Amino acid sequence: MRLRLAGALAAVLVAAGLATGPAAQAAPSPARQPTLAGLAERHGRYFGSATDNPELTDTAYTKILGDEFDMITPGNGMKWYATEPQQGVFDWTDGDQIVDLARKNHQKVRAHTLVWHSQLPDWLTSKQWTASELRAVLKKHITTEVRHYRGKVYSWDVVNEAFNEDGSYRETLWYKTLGPGYIADALRWAHQADPHARLYLNDYNIEATGPKSDAYYRLAKELKARGVPLDGIGFQAHLALQYGYPSTLEDNLRRFSRLGLDTALTEVDVRMQLPATEEKLAEQADWYRDLTAACLAVRRCVGVTIWDYTDKYSWIPAVFPGEGAALPWDEELRPKPAYRALREALR
């Protein structure tokens, strides 16, 4: 009788997680479900998240960031205003913090971004530059930054958002002063500074076939024909339920692959007009599932990155008033239907 009672007590203690000794050692531990990154890896893909320096003090946030993802993109820390705030004076603080975090978590880094029309320092935008002056400034910036991170990052978004919606070149400081050749030059300079980093052009509203994505297709085809070092096209995929799903996404990814280019979904979020309802969250989940499935269906679509993983740190409400709830985790870091849909797609 005493032996039976002792056995029953041991079973209770094991179940409660309080037992020690041989009985506890023999007790099976609960199986840990695979992460999004682990599921994506089975398909030869990565699954990433953007992050930004201010939220890295949030330990509950960084725990999920480190656990679920195998690719990190610095949301702002590698942009020009942060890295060269004064001409010729470089500051790597924010970028290095994220690279160091990624290394600690055994993650890779999609570095973002070298050439963009936005978030430029005043010293760059307030001056009238000659073409030779600006070309020298651009070359020095790209070469210095890419060399600093040489061997530490997987890829670079070299040129970001170069086209308008109608497929014409965006009238940026770079285009107006240097002409369209600045794109090829930027790619060449980045390649010289780090021959092993994958080099991308990156933009939004190019997920569906249309004038803007056609412009990238023509440019990519031309650059490849000229031997310019271009490795991939980044489809940002900042989507909104009210504008409809880009149903030609898979075909579009496939045509860039046929040029010998990688593709990636680089800044994914799916916003909605607030308040969020069960119906909207279910539709959002379908979109996340379909986006991921489209990438998996195209061999050279190498991975998916969501633009931070939680509504708590989303850029959407500040830029699109009345919209939000765009990410797979809510503001309390709880998984939403979109998270479960991502897991289903990756399975």
Q: How far apart are CA 270 and CA 321, in angstroms?
A: 15
Nearest to 208 by CA among 175, 231, 235, 171: 235
Marked catalytic residue, from 68, 84, 145, 267: 267
Marked catalytic residue, from 68, 84, 145, 161: 161
118 with 125: CB under 8 angstroms? no
Q: How far apart are CA 50 and CA 107, in angstroms?
A: 12
Q: How far apart are CA 161 and CA 142, in angstroms?
A: 17
Residue whose structure tokens are 């056609």: 214
* Whether the bond into 321 is cis, omega within 30 of 0: no
267 catalytic, yes or no? yes
* Whether the bond into 248 is cis, omega within 30 of 0: no
> Exposed, middle or buried: residue 128 (CB in 10 Å: 0-12, 13-18, 19+)?
exposed
253 with 294: CB under 8 angstroms? yes
SS3 at position 129: coil
- Looking only at the bridges linking them, the beta strands covering 238-240 and 71-74 are unpaired
Nearest to 203 by CA among 121, 116, 145, 131: 116
Q: How far apart are CA 36 and CA 34, in angstroms?
A: 7
161 catalytic, yes or no? yes
Q: How far apart are CA 343 and CA 289, in angstroms?
A: 8
Single-letter amino acid, residue 30: P
- What positions carry a catalytic annotation? 161, 267
